Chain A
């Protein structure tokens, strides 16, 4: 009897202590949890292995790169391969730093413009009811359903007509209108309370003020999402169809050329590969929670 009372007491006390570990859901078996956890761990190792390998390959000195049997982790990591990129390719006609600049410029300009243009469009689509708005948004969602390759050829003709072939604009301007960005931004902005906007309007703010002072600061999580998707697309853009001049080509193109250089360029190839892949990954790591917050409203309703 007393035991029972004690138990009840303990249970009552427990309510006031925050449990250290989240209570398990009642309908889960422990064996299942463990099995799934092990499964997840194995898959995670498989997923991450090529990336870890690529990073380590870039850090290996020359003798380790061709060691047999190969090792995954570099024994004496050096940054020589990265330095080589600037030293060896510093003497070539188009230097490595030029390729890097091209990609950085295209990515920065394209992303900034995309964020601005798509947010403006998303703002009115989300918060105002005007004729044509819904139809336009439908069109944007349809545009998400096919790849950009479908429109490559007419795009080429249009860019040719505009005289943008072999300039950065050929890559930057079309990136402004990426349908995914507008879609995510609009969905996220719909979660913003309309009362906020109305209050600002009553206080005498015009549309532009509402947009720049009220809406944009409040959708910062969506900024990061637009930025990551835009960077992902532009940073990896090979741009080989629109840009012919060597001095305007992008990093990915340089990567392919270095890799085509054969065995002698193995170390440098690995280093460029790391440069190419690390930027989007880092952006994602630092903005993960904000991106997930935005993606929570990404659902397609019909």
Chain B
């Protein structure tokens, strides 16, 4: 290994001489010399680290097969008409045109997804941070119990179906019974079949489950903030916990905040399980339809794969753009 490094160094010197020689030449010559030099260094490094590729290979192959390639394939198929039986036929932008101009149900889906994402995304994110921050002040053993309590709903998986018991549409549902006994309503509310109530109830359930991976990351990150910074803060006259939060805690937490944002966005745009299980699939008047539900409908019920891929591509673009936007926003925290 040491030999190789030495060799690389001598080669560096040779290259430096070459570059100096090329100084008299034009820009293009310089560029090619530099490129060739970089390539040869990269090649050397690759040969040196052969084993690295062997180690990475299993993951890389599966990852490419099930994460990278599908995204590319999905973009490709979105420009075709494809129903599995016949070979895909190129139809240009037709899928997107009919999605955005003709498919009213898709527009309902987009509307619902955006409403859910805009409300539950930021709210869940802020809740995650707020509770992580409050929990952090508790004594040690209370804190570990609290983390379990707050995190449990999001790992409990299908536990949210219990909400269908609470919000049952007849007079035996607890919420309905409560509302009727207190005289707030005369008739039971059909929470999961009345379009007016579906989304709010779903959002409530999603918020209940929103303290997920990001929350854990925040809890862990807060414990890692250097205590001496807080002490310096007292000296410099930070009066209350809110100032401390803005000037010391948040800037220290930036990487975790980024990570939490990624998690929150991914969750907020991918809503479908909750709406499908609570409101049914398809739901009354499509009032609980989201983009992902629409994708399932076309992909796995109607087998219009090209159309479904167009939906997937739109969802993909929405998520990536939203992530980029939020990240550039978060860079300004605490400055």
Contact = CB atoms under 8 A, between A and B. Distances in A.
Contact of A288 (B147, B255, B327): B147
B202 to A, nearest CB: 15
Say which size band chain A's interface belongs to.
35 or more
A146 B312 CA distance: 10
Contacts of B230: 25
Interface string A286-298: 0011011111101
A302 B270 CA distance: 24
Contact of B150 (A44, A141, A236, A291): A44
Nearest to A278: B156
A153 B305 contact: yes
Contacts, number: 287
A28 B292 CA distance: 46
A61 interface: no
B55 A140 contact: no
Contacts of A174: 62, 66
Nearest to B68: A139
Interface stretch (B9-17, B21-29, B184-192, B219-227): B219-227
A146 B259 contact: no
B193 interface: no
Contacts of B158: 236, 252, 255, 273, 276-277
A151 B327 contact: no
Contacts of A179: 63, 67
B136 to A, nearest CB: 11
Interface residues of B, number: 104
Given A150-B71, A154-B309, A281-B152, A300 B262 contact: yes
Interface of B: 42, 45-46, 48-49, 51-53, 55-56, 58-60, 62-63, 65-71, 73-74, 77, 84, 131, 134-135, 137-139, 144, 146-153, 155-163, 165-166, 172, 174, 177, 208, 211, 213, 216-217, 219-221, 223-224, 230, 233-234, 238-241, 244, 254-256, 258-259, 262-263, 265-267, 269-270, 272, 277, 292, 295-296, 299-300, 305, 308-309, 312-313, 315-316, 319-320, 323, 327, 331
